[in-house]
Structure 1
Amino acid sequence: MPSPASRRRHGPQRIVCLTEEPTEVLYLLGEQQRIVGISGFTVRPPEARRDKPRVSAFTSAKIDRILALQPDLAIGFSDMQADIAAGLIRAGVEVWISNHRSVAGILDYVRRLGALVDAADAAARLADTLSARIERVRAAAAALPRRPRVYFEEWDSPQISAIRWVSELVGIAGGDDVFPQRATASLARERIVADPAEVIAAAPELIIGSWCGKKFRPEQVAARPGWHAVPAVRDGELHEIKSPLILQPGPAALTDGLDRLHDIVQAWSRRHGT
């Protein structure tokens, strides 16, 4: 019987990952040898940034450099990468643009990507491990004495509230998103909080910032007109989660991102739960 190393590898052999999550998944599956190019925003795992050429941002890419890598598949995410995808398709590259927006969608994405690279069994095990971890956090959160109202901000100008998987993770971690109706919208513009007074009215007890690509500035948030009345501002409960941990719809969000959320909620509960 042939060894795993000697068996024929099916599926795409030269993959360009236009976002972070396919890179992380492929490394976790032990299929990193298929990757020939990555997003410049990639930080997980560190060796990917060290070993793989960076060929794209999020809304732009070096098409000529990608083509020079002779990819047989490019993997991206969402309508935001439609122009990159179109350029690659016109050049004859096969492209998969996923558009998963929920925790369940992330788990299914892991399974689908695994199947695509002939690693369906390993991907199923990874998805099951991630799911079990989520349930452990959910069970721990159920024991908290109080659930805080949470405003999660993923951009500051304009103010954009949590995308769906982040909103769901807030709930799993033990909090309640103050704008759950916005989280179901698929486009970022539909999650814009055009009137900051809405946040004041929602009275969040925790504000969590994850400004994609730049440092969260709690002092700037606290200085917004009228926000001194917001419980989270009054109590100094403004916290940051780095965007690579929570704003990419892959394993990072379900592991380190969720853990950080739960730590913040748990600490709030210790201070305010009695």
Structure 2
Amino acid sequence: MEYKDQMNRTIRLENFPRRIVSLVPSQTELLFDLGLEDEVVGITKFCIHPDTWFRSKTRVGGTKTVDIDKVQTLEPDLIIANKEENTKEDIEKLVRVAPVWISDIHTLEEALDMIKQIGVLTNRREKSRSMITTIREGFEAIQQAEKRKRVLYLIWERPVMAAGNTTFIHDMLTRIGWENVLEEQIRYPELSDEEIVRLQPDLIILSSEPYPYKEEHVQRYQKLCPGAEVRLLDGEFFSWYGSRLVKALPYFQKVISE
């Protein structure tokens, strides 16, 4: 059987996979929600959901520091990776171990396509279709924010980095009715304090991941931009593009109504 991944690469599988290694936290959670308990044999140390898998499945390093030898000992017949989460160097080594299916996601539609394709790959078509319907209908029904706030979404300190255009976070921000102040910049630009002040955001979001922002950071940015609202928010809902999107919908509705 031949399949195309989201990088337009062709992979070949003899049968539906029985031994899967997942190198992407959000896609690991998706595999769990698709009912692939027995098939998934390896995950990364950042695949924290579900907790039962985090405690019981073999961990094969980090998303960008994959232990290739450990993956090989698991004898996978499918490895699931992501263009942004995993390194090109690791993927080039992993393709010698097993077929590697790579996702490339910047928008909700690309996330839904990934869910559909993973469902096909793993013989979970009906579950993936149902999940896609739930997510799509939820986003269509969401009540967007009444005020179109100009938002700065920070993901890292030292250097300070934020989410620009061509990111999944940007797509989530716009879908709930907010405006990304960095929509003219792509990916994750570095910012100085002076640049942040010049952007004049209405709202500064401090994401819970990948950098663990705390209350002390709220105080720092409140002092830097006294006219802005500064909030600590759950980054998983803005950046995890798998089945987490089902849970993201009520979270977004709560966030934009506050």
TM-score normalised by structure 1 residue count: 0.79
Letter in 2 for 1:263: K
Give the equivalent residue in structure 2 for 1:84: 90
Distance in 1 (CA, whole Å) between partners of 2:34 and 2:191 is 42
* From 30, 38, 41, the counterpart of 2:35: 30
Q: Deviation per CA, 1:189-245, whole angstroms, max 9, x where unpaired?
A: xx213343332222111111115344213533643698234x21xxxx222223334
Distance in 2 (CA, whole Å) between partners of 1:228 and 1:106 is 34
Instruction: Indicate how the Cα distance of structure 1 residues 88 and 145 shifts in structure 2: closer, same or farther if over 3 A, else same.
Output: closer
Higher-Rg structure is 1
User: 1:198 and 2:195 equivalent?
Assistant: yes
Identity of aligned residues (%): 24
Give the equivalent residue in structure 2 for 1:4: none
* From 65, 74, 77, the counterpart of 1:72: 77
Shift of 1:129: 0.9
What does residue range 215-234 of structure 1 map to in structure 2 within 5 Å? 215-220=212-217, 222-223=219-220, 227-229=224-226, 231-232=227-228
User: 1:263 and 2:254 equivalent?
Assistant: yes
Letter in 2 for 1:255: V
Distance in 1 (CA, whole Å) between partners of 2:83 and 2:240 is 11
Distance in 1 (CA, whole Å) between partners of 2:93 and 2:213 is 34
What does residue range 33-44 of structure 1 map to in structure 2 within 5 Å? 33-44=38-49
* From 63, 66, 75, the counterpart of 1:61: 66
What does residue range 1-274 of structure 1 map to in structure 2 within 5 Å? 10-79=15-84, 80-90=86-96, 92-137=97-142, 140-141=143-144, 144-162=145-163, 164-182=167-185, 185=186, 188=187, 191-210=188-207, 212-220=209-217, 222-223=219-220, 227-229=224-226, 231-232=227-228, 237-252=229-244, 254-267=245-258
Q: Deviation per CA, 1:7-65, whole angstroms, max 9, x where unpaired?
A: xx941110000111222112222123210011111122222213311112121012111
CA contact (8 A) 1:37 1:69 kept: yes
Instruction: Indicate how the Cα distance of structure 1 residues 69 and 86 shifts in structure 2: closer, same or farther if over 3 A, else same.
Output: same
Instruction: Indicate how the Cα distance of structure 1 residues 251 and 197 shifts in structure 2: closer, same or farther if over 3 A, else same.
Output: farther
CA contact (8 A) 1:218 1:239 kept: no
Greater shift, 101-110 or 80-89, is seen at 80-89
Letter in 2 for 1:215: P
Give the equivalent residue in structure 2 for 1:272: none
Shift of 1:258: 4.7
**1:32 match: secondary structure:** coil
**1:151 match: secondary structure:** strand
Unpaired stretches in structure 2, ≥5 consecutive residues? 1-13
RMSD of aligned alpha carbons: 2.4
**1:101 match: secondary structure:** coil
Distance in 1 (CA, whole Å) between partners of 2:150 and 2:130 is 34
Give the equivalent residue in structure 2 for 1:3: none
**2:49 match: secondary structure:** coil
- Looking at secondary structure, tell me which structure has more helix per residue: 1
